[in-house]
Amino acid sequence: MKKFIHRDDFDDSFECPEIKIIDGKRFYVTADGNAYPSITTILSLQDKPGLKKWRENVGEKEAKRISQESMRIGTAVHQMCEIYLNNLVVKLDKSEKVIRDTFNRMRFLLGNIDNIVGTEITLYSDLLRVAGTTDCIAEYNGVPSVIDFKTSRKPKKEEWIDDYYMQTFAYKLMFEEMTGVEIKQVVILIACVDQFDVQVFKKPASDSDKYLTKLIKIMKANPHITGDMHKSIF
């Protein structure tokens, strides 16, 4: 088992905002009393006609079952990744073959990670007025990165994952604002559940404005959730 290196020079950079559920939406309350919506809350505000059509095709009951099972697998694999990257022993339940196999596929990619700033880091931006918890900030193949772990039933096409890029570039902005340390890229690692496949999607820091502009458009369309945003953003 690889021994991951963890950096200890960021321990004082992160506060832990209080999480509150307001009208069914997740908000992070900072030490200054600012309540910022989570990035996942923001992204959930989008119209998703493809998802709606799928739910209609399979039926609401089956759609709910599939969604809950996918969430269960995704949560378990995320937890295993965090344990593994923290140099602890991952206990693989023999009765949970799907989860075990999906994690083992993801583990193949985790070896490219090192010099870890942290896992499950709570971040926020006073500039963007948004918050969230990133899966991992570390070097990926030697490049400082925001890294996100995803599971999927089947392989994704890159044009399907704008949400993932908006999410990770938002984390990049939050981290840089809180620490002053530059992130060079965002990395999406996807382990497929129904196929023996893994995917790696990467975008350089130079693509940040493109995806943050898309995110800000969603935020401005939903002021009842996001509040008044700074006029100076883009």
The identity of residue 116, as a single letter, is I
- Does a structural domain hold residue 5? no
Question: Which pLDDT score is estimated for 26?
Answer: 87
Residue 29 maps to which CATH number? Answer: 3.90.320
Q: 116, 176, 186: which is closest to 150 by C-alpha?
A: 186
- Does a structural domain hold residue 9? no
- Does a structural domain hold residue 11? no
- Does a structural domain hold residue 6? no
User: Could you read off the pLDDT of 182-224 as tens digits, one per residue?
Assistant: 999 999 999 999 888 999 999 999 999 999 999 999 998 888 7
Low pLDDT (below 70) residues in the chain: 11-13, 226-234
Question: Which pLDDT score is estimated for 54?
Answer: 72
- Does a structural domain hold residue 231? no
- Does a structural domain hold residue 137? yes
Q: Are 19 and 27 in contact (CB under 8 A)?
A: yes
- Does a structural domain hold residue 218? yes
Question: Phi, psi at residue 143, to the nearest 5°?
Answer: -110, 125
Question: Which pLDDT score is estimated for 230?
Answer: 44
Question: Which pLDDT score is estimated for 50?
Answer: 73
- Does a structural domain hold residue 12? no
Question: Which pLDDT score is estimated for 25?
Answer: 84
Question: Which pLDDT score is estimated for 231?
Answer: 42
Q: Are 166 and 211 in contact (CB under 8 A)?
A: yes
Number of domains in the chain: 1
Q: 134, 133, 137: which is closest to 116 by C-alpha?
A: 137
Domain membership of residue 177 as a residue range: 18-226
- pTM of the predicted model as reported, rounded to 2 decimal places: 0.91
CA distance 188 to 169: 11
